[in-house]
Structure 1
Amino acid sequence: MASIPVEFQDLFERGAPVQLATVLPDGMPHVTPVFAEYDGEHVLFNTMRGRRKERNIRNNPNVGVSVTDPDDPYRYLSISGEVVGVTEDGAVEHVHHIARKFMDVPEYPNLDDEPNPRVVVRIRPVQVRAIDEPERSD
């Protein structure tokens, strides 16, 4: 298991843009923005059961996460990982926490209108690239 370098963990605390890549059933990538946190071991995000990203990770737990510093586009994390948990336990509390932290609202909006339960997804980083300067090629 890989870990996020301490000097890059602020990206998760600042509400930096997070892009989640999952694999569609036909093998093509599916990329979507999410609010994510790092708990010192796993990257966590919240979604609704049945959404495309949740269905994708049920079929293939391999994911990618990209986090870019909003103040410096050449400082970012590129994470390859594996989903090791999807749970409804604590998911409503977690989505309200995410809303307070990243959206500056007391509760996640329109939660009562969602047709399916919320879930917390836990990603185990397998490979982490932390970049803080321009690259010439990749």
Structure 2
Amino acid sequence: MGYTDAPEGWWREFVAARPRTGKLAVVRADGSPHVTPVWVDVDGSSIVFTTHVESVKGKAILRDGRISLCLDDEEPPYAFVTLSGKAEVDDDPEQVTYWAGRLGARYMGADRANEYAARNGVPGEVVVRLRNPKVVAKVDVAD
């Protein structure tokens, strides 16, 4: 068994297929790495998540903007996608509420969308978007 490159654009289908927790990597102010889980969704050629500006990841993104995000299957057949690039931050309250609800529905069920929109669509929370990321996507293949 080994990995092979996934087809072009495959990452969108992989991320959208089911909720997988993304592992987000950022660089702290002292240069050390920081990895944290995030809920993500696909919007066209972008990947989207939310965070609070006072969190470690929020501060790092606002300061530097470079991020890397990995999503994977932890059971056979193994596959993963790593997305990297410069994050864009949007603090528009309507966008924050929309994405907080959409992510809540995706990970916790449609019946909880309004709950998550209210809980996470608050001042200080922002939408983070990675447009047209650099992609490394691999799928497991049998030898």
- Structure 1 residues without counterparts, runs of 5 or longer: none
Normalised by the length of structure 2, the TM-score is 0.77
- Structure 2 residues without counterparts, runs of 5 or longer: 1-6
Counterpart check, 1:100 vs 2:105 = yes
Normalised by the length of structure 1, the TM-score is 0.80
Distance (Å, rounded) in 2 between the aligned partners of 1:24 and 1:73: 34
Question: Do 1:36 and 1:43's aligned partners in 2 also have CA atoms closer than 8 Å?
Answer: yes
Partner of 2:119: 111
Kindly, what percent of the aligned residue pairs are identical? Answer: 27
Distance (Å, rounded) in 2 between the aligned partners of 1:117 and 1:88: 8
Question: Do 2:50 and 2:100's aligned partners in 1 also have CA atoms closer than 8 Å?
Answer: yes
Q: How far 1:126 moved relative to its partner?
A: 4.1
Q: How far 1:73 moved relative to its partner?
A: 6.5
Q: Alignment partner for residue 131 of structure 1, among 113, 121, 138?
A: 138
Alpha-carbon spacing, 1:23–1:10, altered in 2? closer, same or farther (3 Å): same
Q: Alignment partner for residue 33 of structure 1, among 31, 37, 45?
A: 37
Question: Do 1:43 and 1:123's aligned partners in 2 also have CA atoms closer than 8 Å?
Answer: yes
Partner of 1:121: 128
Distance (Å, rounded) in 1 between the aligned partners of 2:62 and 2:80: 27
Runs of 4+ in 1 over 4 A off after TM superposition: none
> Which of the pair is proportionally richer in helix?
2
Q: Alignment partner for residue 90 of structure 2, among 74, 87, 92?
A: 87
